[in-house]
Chain A
Amino acid sequence: MTQQYQFSVNGKAVSVSLDNEATPLLDVLRNELGLMGTRFGCGLEQCGCCMVLIDGAPVKSCSREISTLAGKTITTVEGLGTPERPHPLQQAFLDEQAGQCGYCLAGILISAKALLEKNPSPTRKEIALALDGNICRCGSHNRIMRAVEKAATVMRGAKS
């Protein structure tokens, strides 16, 4: 039976109608809302490619059923910034050329955003642990962690 689901994505109220209440949020983002930045990696909550923020907390969207999201606020990588107005994390990833194939990056940017909101001055170890739920197979880890450190510095500067 078709049902309506209402929530907010990247600051905009959205409403989708779906037959299957178990439809994963990831499928809704990609196939209903056309937001392709959140990627499918495993469908098993293991790799982090599909990470989004739900009410500010990092969540793997591949297994999160749409029926649990009424009224929630969701942020995807598209909600971080744009090439014209990049989020400090995105600017730092560009500056550090942090990535190779880039398939993992959207999820990693989201995990990093969640970390920096909780902990504006993370150590390298804290960054690493915060990103352990994201897999990077190309080996861009050190660049990615440098970029997160750099963004943290920029964001602290902007606040002071």
Chain B
Amino acid sequence: MNAPALPGTLNDNPVLDRWVSFPAPGKVTVNTGRVELGQGVLTAMQQVATDELYVSMARVTVHSGDTVRAPNEGYTAGSQSIQTGAVAMRQACADVRALFLAQAAAIIGCKPDELSVRDGSILHNGASTGQDYWTLAGAIDLTAKATGSGARKAVADFTSIGQSSARLDLPPKIFGDAIFIHDMKLDGMVHARVVRQPNRGATIGTIDEAAIKRAAKGPVDLVRNGNFLAIVGSNETAVDLAGAAAVNHVAWQNVEAPTPLQQEAYWLLQRPTVDRVLGSPEPSDSQGRQRFEATFTRGFVAHASISPSCGLALFKDGQMTVWTHCQGVFPLRAALARTLKLEPSAIIVHHVQGSGCYGHNGADDAAADAAIIAMQKPGTPVRVRWRREEEFVYEPKSPSMVVKVRALLDDAGKPADWTQEIWSGNHNGRPGGGSSLLGEEALPGYTPPPPPNEVPEAAGGGATRNAEPLYDIPEKRIVHHKIVEQPVRVSALRGLGATANVFALECCIDELAERAGQDPVAYRLSITSDPRARAVIEKAAAMANWQPGPPNGGEGHGRGVAFARYKNKAAYCAVVVDLDVDEEIRLNNVWCATDGGLIVSPDGALNQLEGGIIQAASWVLKEQVRFDNDAPTGPSAFDWETYPVLKFSEVPEITIALLNTKDEVPLGIGEVAGGPVAAAIGNAVSHALGVRIRDLPLTRERIAATLLKE
């Protein structure tokens, strides 16, 4: 008989000492495979351990993200850290506590259930036993596997979970400590900048080494391996100057740059596709029912992390040690092993904090750059920091998408049959999915791997994420056209396909409500039976003081509502947006109601939701990577002027309500707001202008062009 599955990632990492250890009297260390990305996950893990081990918070140290001690939890991504990571931590701690209670009971000669723990001390019927975790630790084998049988604390008894705990990682950031990977200094460290291969297959023609060295105004060396070229030296300023100048002093052959045609999502419709249908086949005719069809698009979007990526590496005595701010140290180790032709056991990867990544940015690639150079400089620590332009041009982009919705309506104007047809590149270009590291492509003998698989539906899908409406629609299906060949590298950005899919789906729902002459909130509720979905929609409408009725159009002021349950299995979220439009959009207010089940840290959840709302507003109002300027190579977004994001003076007031559902399992909330915000803005703009814009971003130029056409 198979043992019952353990919760979350504990199933893959059942050995308890991967999670919990007692390193010194009075101290507890918990290890998590999750990494701090500014989302406060380490603080959340500390809260979980505090409750389930029945110790004070100050005793608990959280160790995160290395391949030596931490459990392999894959990527810190997909709003999974609490939903699958914290539940694993919770059970691991509960199992550890149960082992200690059993051991204490054997010593004392009582039943374990007569014992309790208070701040690490074992009590017998409430009285001291003289035993604690640390007196017993030597006798307990934590290399045992989790059984899942340790009793978890009742929700009502939580002292830390459910409280807003001050983030562990914030004080060093506010006092300017050397907390980021960019701030690491190793003895004898050299700095490096890579002279990037413009595209896969491009080869170095000539190198004007003298010109590069002149530009450095200080000593630098060139390191080359095939078409991988880097500037290295001990003075960062000199290396930086040389790195910037080298772009103009290295001539490349076989250069291919993306074209302006490729920047528009409609380009996808002309490309070869790999097709599949999820759900029942589409009916061949509408059987007399009214038909509604609309097409939505979104261009390429950048992660646009505030700091360019950075990586450090040291190759010494056959051992490669890498420091990185990537989201998954174990998948990176596997990709580095392939790139460097080393055994995984010869590579150690440590996570160090970087700036927010919001998905797969240049972090893995910068680490690989450092490791490739370090292989050629054994014994010397190498620090690679990308240039700003390098991050914008070479980070993998969120792929452009076309989403076509076809609905057949019943007599009441409600959708009876729903087809969401998607054209998109792959949202999974991570090294763990088999994709190459950027530097790897420039090495001798490089053979491109087969195209990676899209994120499986079981993990929420990639391009198809949230393409299926949660509404009560009798027949639904997704038609997915994958476009493998892309003009730039593409991969995961916060929410993956959900942003474009929810934008399309929820804008259509609004259009259907309008056709039916119904209030958008009431129309949604009329096709929603899931009580938690209804609750967030009703709550957001109440917070916004939503006035029922068909929206009035064309007055320059608009309100819009939208809803989604992230991946149809994580948190529920409804959003109402209030805005004005003249030449451009001015966001006034965003109201958001979210049901994330049990929330570990309410303020942490609010911070994530606020951030998700503002970032999504930025995507929708401003962001598209364009290919139509005179850029040196690749995308013509290369700095904050060619790729502007939302500014302080442009953010809306935000009000968020977390629904009280603490007896439900925790549901990931980090990415839930993106789709609803995009769609609520789209709906509000439509109501403000009296005309619908179905292409993102909703820039000043696009609004002007749309109004001119009317």
Give chain A's interface residues, CB within 8 Å of chain B. Answer: 19-20, 22-24, 27, 30-31, 35-44, 46-47, 49, 76-78, 80-83, 86, 90, 93-94, 97, 99-106, 109, 125, 127-129, 131-132, 134-145
- Given contacts A94-B166, A125-B649, A135-B306, 14 further A-B pairs with CB under 8 A are A19-B217, A19-B218, A36-B182, A44-B388, A44-B639, A82-B175, A99-B170, A100-B39, A102-B169, A103-B180, A103-B307, A105-B174, A140-B607, A141-B646
Q: Is the CB of A42 within 8 A of B639?
A: yes
Q: Is the CB of B639 within 8 A of A39?
A: no
A78 nearest in chain B by CB position: B176
Considering the chains assembled together, what is the distance between the CA atoms of A109 and B647 in angstroms? Answer: 16
B165 nearest in chain A by CB position: A97
Contact string against A for B residues 629-658, beta-carbon threshold 8 Å, 1 for contact and 0 otherwise: 000000000011100011111010110000
Contact string against A for B residues 178-221, beta-carbon threshold 8 Å, 1 for contact and 0 otherwise: 11101100000000000000000000000000000000011000
- The interface stretch among B97-105, B121-129, B610-618, B691-699 is B610-618
Considering the chains assembled together, what is the distance between the CA atoms of A77 and B176 in angstroms? Answer: 6
Considering the chains assembled together, what is the distance between the CA atoms of A139 and B237 in angstroms? Answer: 31
Inside 8 A of B615's CB, which chain A residues have their CB?
137-139
B171 at the interface (CB under 8 A from A): yes
Give chain B's interface residues, CB within 8 Å of chain A. Answer: 37-40, 164, 166-167, 169-180, 182-183, 217-218, 235-238, 240, 304-308, 353-356, 358, 385, 387-388, 603, 607-608, 610-615, 618, 639-641, 645-649, 651, 653-654
Inside 8 A of B307's CB, which chain A residues have their CB?
39-41, 49, 103
Q: Is the CB of B237 within 8 A of A36?
A: no
Q: Is the CB of B306 within 8 A of A136?
A: yes
Considering the chains assembled together, what is the distance between the CA atoms of A141 and B649 in angstroms? Answer: 9
Asked if A101 meets B170 with Cβ closer than 8 Å, knowing A42-B388, A47-B306, the reply is no
Q: Can you give 26 A-B contacts (C-beta < 8 A)? A: A19-B217, A20-B217, A31-B236, A35-B176, A36-B180, A37-B176, A39-B182, A40-B182, A43-B240, A49-B306, A49-B307, A76-B176, A77-B175, A100-B607, A100-B611, A102-B174, A103-B354, A127-B648, A128-B648, A128-B649, A132-B648, A137-B356, A139-B610, A139-B651, A141-B651, A143-B607
Considering the chains assembled together, what is the distance between the CA atoms of A83 and B173 in angstroms? Answer: 11
Inside 8 A of B618's CB, which chain A residues have their CB?
139
Q: Is the CB of B38 within 8 A of A41?
A: no
Residue from B174, B177, B354, B387 in contact with A99 in the complex, judged by beta carbons closer than 8 Å: B174
Considering the chains assembled together, what is the distance between the CA atoms of A46 and B524 in angstroms? Answer: 43
Considering the chains assembled together, what is the distance between the CA atoms of A35 and B707 in angstroms? Answer: 52
Q: Is the CB of A31 within 8 A of B237?
A: yes
Inside 8 A of B649's CB, which chain A residues have their CB?
125, 128-129, 132
Q: Is the CB of B639 within 8 A of A101?
A: no
Asked if A101 meets B388 with Cβ closer than 8 Å, knowing A20-B218, A142-B653, the reply is no
Considering the chains assembled together, what is the distance between the CA atoms of A78 and B183 in angstroms? Answer: 14
Considering the chains assembled together, what is the distance between the CA atoms of A103 and B642 in angstroms? Answer: 21
Residue from B177, B236, B358, B614 in contact with A37 in the complex, judged by beta carbons closer than 8 Å: B177
Considering the chains assembled together, what is the distance between the CA atoms of A104 and B645 in angstroms? Answer: 14
Q: Is the CB of B640 within 8 A of A46?
A: yes
Inside 8 A of A81's CB, which chain B residues have their CB?
175
Rounded to whole Å, the gap between the CB of A116 and the closest CB of chain B is: 15
B609 nearest in chain A by CB position: A139
A19 nearest in chain B by CB position: B218
Considering the chains assembled together, what is the distance between the CA atoms of A73 and B166 in angstroms? Answer: 34
Considering the chains assembled together, what is the distance between the CA atoms of A101 and B180 in angstroms? Answer: 10
Residue from A23, A93, A145 in contact with B174 in the complex, judged by beta carbons closer than 8 Å: A93
Considering the chains assembled together, what is the distance between the CA atoms of A38 and B608 in angstroms? Answer: 25
Question: Residue among B173, B179, B180, B236 with the most chain A CB within 10 A?
Answer: B173
Question: Residue among B174, B218, B355, B612 with the most chain A CB within 10 A?
Answer: B174
Q: Is the CB of B306 within 8 A of A103?
A: yes
Inside 8 A of A43's CB, which chain B residues have their CB?
240, 387-388
Considering the chains assembled together, what is the distance between the CA atoms of A100 and B646 in angstroms? Answer: 16
Considering the chains assembled together, what is the distance between the CA atoms of A125 and B39 in angstroms? Answer: 27
B654 nearest in chain A by CB position: A142
Inside 8 A of B648's CB, which chain A residues have their CB?
127-129, 131-132, 134, 136, 141, 144-145
B651 nearest in chain A by CB position: A141
Inside 8 A of B177's CB, which chain A residues have their CB?
36-37
Asked if A46 meets B306 with Cβ closer than 8 Å, knowing A77-B175, A137-B615, A138-B356, the reply is no
Rounded to whole Å, the gap between the CB of A89 and the closest CB of chain B is: 9
Q: Is the CB of A139 within 8 A of B611?
A: yes
Asked if A38 meets B176 with Cβ closer than 8 Å, knowing A44-B639, A134-B648, A135-B306, the reply is yes
Q: Is the CB of A41 within 8 A of B175?
A: no
Q: Is the CB of B645 within 8 A of A36?
A: no
Q: Is the CB of A142 within 8 A of B651?
A: yes
Q: Is the CB of B611 within 8 A of A140?
A: yes
5 closest A-B pairs by CB: A37-B176, A102-B173, A101-B38, A139-B614, A139-B611
Q: Is the CB of A20 within 8 A of B610?
A: no
Asked if A94 meets B174 with Cβ closer than 8 Å, knowing A102-B38, A135-B645, the reply is yes
Considering the chains assembled together, what is the distance between the CA atoms of A23 and B173 in angstroms? Answer: 25
